[in-house]
Structure 1
Amino acid sequence: MVEQAEALRRTPLSRERVLCTAVALADAGGIESLSMRNLAQHLGVVPMALYKHVANKDELLDGMIDAVVGEIDPPEPDADWKQTVRGRILSARQMLLRHPWAALAIESRNTPTPGVLGYLDSMVGAFRAGGFSTDLAHHVMHAMGSRILGFSQELFDATRRAGRSGPAEPDPAAGFPPEAAARFPHLAEIAGAASHDDASVVGPGCDDQFEFEFALDLLLDGVDRLHRQGWRSAP
């Protein structure tokens, strides 16, 4: 332990090292557990040493976001717009699965970070390179919403919470809680009509990856149809 601490002190501190360590700490314990003090401790430096590389906690968080957004795969050479957009969105989703704190962190920023802006700009560029008008590209980005970054608010997560009367998790085999099923019969009917994934964040009975790709493909197919029709918004 002493040798490890000494090695940390001898390793030159850099912005990249600060951000990589911060990302690792957030991955392990969540973003709420990250502080400048415990980050400095893991780096083997005093907290003031960090401020030569990040001005404050907000700048640290911005840098962490850009570091993980940089993990999203670049466009494949010679791929058409739909392959490019689909592939990069699914790569963004895998990045968020590796870094569960990142989606909330991205949403929490008042202004998108340079890395997020660069990624969004490249996605608009993929639509434009595919022959989309600026008008259609504008509306497509609205329709995609956060899904373009690999995440979305899940409907069944909300309905599952609405059906609970207490903090205890329902038995996955029980499906929609009986009292909620009586009040909302149509939601109850479809709640269990899906492939199962016990670790799903959507809810018991749902396969996260399938549901995400299903919605993504619906959107992309609809966008493709509008593009082929030469769609324009109302004047």
Structure 2
Amino acid sequence: MAPPRIGPTVQNGDPPTSPSPRLSRERILACALEIVDREGIEQLSMRRLAHALGHDPMSLYRHAANKAALLDGVAETVLNELTVDPTDPDWAAQLRAVARRYRHLALAHPNVVPLLVTRPLATPLALRPKGTLRPLEAILTLLTRSGFTGADALHIYRALFGLLHGHVLNELQELVDNPDETDDTLRLGLYRLPIGEFPLLRGLATALASYDGAAELERGLDILLAGLATAPP
């Protein structure tokens, strides 16, 4: 679901024409998310954001120290939508529901995915924005309440989000080369691969062409959760 438009919208660089409401962190981050969703991370800057909000760039620094802080806030804004019920007695069903919600958020905000998947790697865990850690704490609570040790709960969390991050990156790069072609090898551009070097990959043209992101995620979750349910304590 697309985020609501916040503040005056900039078209072709024209300045806002209506009075600008008072700034708040929530309004700034909502506008920043809108810019990232529409134009990409590279187009977000303090000056660009201030222009979209109808304020002087210096006024933003009371709410965000720099672009890095903005990007952290955008990630928090998206992850705030990732609900986890730590009281669910069926931990496996809850993890499956969380995985589906995460995929939904990734597809709704594809330009934010690098902030969710790769940006945290550059920041020590304790220094990451608290909002990005809340899903982790909630999942640890869910699993320890279900009888897992803290260490095992952390292992499960890492396995789940390792699967999710890999999945959303794969799904977002599943591009069709020639959509008007009816032959799967031609449609995916696999004819460019020498058949002598890539016989198996070219032979999977039909399976690759029929990629279903939702079904692929469910299959991955089936494998992961079945293994966790039967793993020795």
Question: Is the structural similarity TM-score above 0.5?
Answer: yes
2:133 match = 117
1:14 match = 24
Q: Distance in 2 between matches of 1:172 and 1:4?
A: 47
1:211 aligns with 2:216: yes
1:141 match = 157
Q: Is the 8 A contact 2:31 2:53 kept in 1?
A: yes
Counterpart mapping for 1:1-235 below 5 A: 5-8=17-20, 11-75=21-85, 78-106=88-116, 107-109=118-120, 110-111=122-123, 112-148=128-164, 151-154=167-170, 169-170=177-178, 171=181, 173-175=183-185, 176-177=190-191, 179-193=193-207, 204-226=209-231, 231-232=232-233
Spell out, residue by residue over 1:182-216, the C-alpha distance to the aligned partner (whole angstroms, 9 max, x if none): 3122222234226xxxxxxxxx3311121122112
Q: Distance in 1 between matches of 2:152 and 2:84?
A: 23
Q: Which amino acid aligns with 1:93?
A: R
RMSD across aligned positions (CA): 3.0
Q: Which amino acid aligns with 1:118?
A: R
Q: Distance in 1 between matches of 2:215 and 2:62?
A: 44
1:198 match = none
Q: 1:113 to 1:42 in 2, by over 3 A?
A: same
C-alpha displacement of 1:77:
5.5
Q: 1:31 to 1:178 in 2, by over 3 A?
A: closer
Q: Is the 8 A contact 1:92 1:150 kept in 2?
A: no
Question: Which moved further from structure 2: 60-69 or 117-126?
Answer: 117-126
C-alpha displacement of 1:121:
1.9
Residue aligned with 2:22, SS: coil
C-alpha displacement of 1:67:
0.7
Q: Which amino acid aligns with 1:187?
A: L
Q: Which amino acid aligns with 2:203?
A: E
Residue aligned with 1:7, SS: coil
Which stretches in structure 1 are left out of the alignment for 5+ residues?
Answer: 161-167, 195-203
Q: Is the 8 A contact 1:93 1:150 kept in 2?
A: no
Spell out, residue by residue over 1:75-116, the C-alpha distance to the aligned partner (whole angstroms, 9 max, x if none): 285441011111112111111111112220121231243222
Q: Which amino acid aligns with 2:138?
A: S
Q: 1:150 to 1:102 in 2, by over 3 A?
A: farther
Q: Is the 8 A contact 2:86 2:141 kept in 1?
A: no
Q: Kindly, what percent of the aligned residue pairs are identical?
A: 31
Q: Is the 8 A contact 1:27 1:99 kept in 2?
A: yes
Q: Distance in 2 between matches of 1:221 and 1:31?
A: 37
Q: Is the 8 A contact 1:81 1:129 kept in 2?
A: no
Which stretches in structure 2 are left out of the alignment for 5+ residues?
Answer: 1-7, 9-13
TM-score by length of 2: 0.77
